[in-house]
Amino acid sequence: VAAIWLVWERNRIGWSQRLKLLRNRQLLQMFFMVLAILVFKGVLEDSRAVSGISRELLSWNIPLASIAIVLPMLVGGVSGITIAFVGTTFPILIALVRDAGESSHLPAYVMLAMTSGFIGVLLSPIHLCLLLSNEYFGTSLIPVYRHLWRPALALLAASSLYFWGLLLFP
């Protein structure tokens, strides 16, 4: 809040413009989404649900690498913003990695999760940057997805190779 106030002051943003920004529906929705994610993260941690979810996923014998790819990618795709997949899936993933005795490989799992979550956000139909770019250039999602799937797949392949390199050659 202080940083926003400082930027407004330094750029001499008038009160009418400030009020207009504060009434922006999309901005308010994003603010409340971030707030809800942070509250959800706190509830997960305080209720010890993270360790319960971690134990449950481990009991199903799902490979950690698969969880590190699928979970953040799904949340990123559904939410369209980075803080959503980081705030909701990383506490679970970190607990999973520790409970599985893989703490020494935590950076590799975090890298894989960050990349796959980013791919989910990049391909999300509600990702604000994608929507605004489409609007600006007068196109729809389908033609854009035709160009995005190859780089997204290449990014996933490269991060997977790097992940396995980190695991095999520490």
126 in helix, strand or coil? coil
Query: Tens digit of pLDDT for each residue in 83-92?
Result: 889 988 898 8
Burial class (CB in 10 A: 0-12, 13-18, 19+), 150: exposed
With 0.95 as the threshold, say if the pTM is over it.
no
Question: Distance between CA 88 and CA 77 in Å, rounded?
Answer: 13
pLDDT one-digit tens code per residue, 21-33: 888 887 787 778 7
pLDDT (0 to 100) of residue 105: 96
How far apart are alpha carbons 22 and 32 in whole angstroms?
13
Q: How much is the average pLDDT of 79-83? A: 87
pLDDT at 106 over 90: yes
For residue 129, what pLDDT band results from cuts at 50, 70 and 90? confident
| pLDDT above 90 for 120 | yes
> Cβ atoms within 10 A of the Cβ of 27, count?
11
So what's the pLDDT on residue 50? 65
